[in-house]
Structure 1
Amino acid sequence: MKRKVTTDAEREAEKAFKKVETKTATSEHEKAKKSFDENRERLKAERIAREAGPKAKK
């Protein structure tokens, strides 16, 4: 099994690409979390309104 020898330039390029990939993954995770949180709050508000509806009529 031969081991590939990387040059300084290749290592620098790998570092740069790794930072971009990590940033993109974090960004996607943050978007998904924000969407989830907004949906959860909307559903919570709907549930509270639904539960308060019958009580307000009595």
Structure 2
Amino acid sequence: MTDPLDKATARAPATVGEGCLSRYDPEALGPEDGTEFPDAAQLWDEMHKQPRDDPESKG
């Protein structure tokens, strides 16, 4: 059996910024980095739906 961490540590994506402001460079990321997510817009809409019967909003 192969080591599952081999692929995870093979190539780290490029970063921008330093220290606590360091983040992955969006321009350097691609599908091989797991950035392909075609249902992102649908998930965003579902997560940000306003509940219809919110007892706190009634006053």
Q: TM-score when scaled to structure 2?
A: 0.34
Structure number with higher relative contact order (C-alpha < 8 Å, ≥ 6 residues apart): 2
Name the structure with the higher helix share.
Answer: 1
Name the structure with the higher strand share.
Answer: 2
Q: TM-score when scaled to structure 1?
A: 0.35
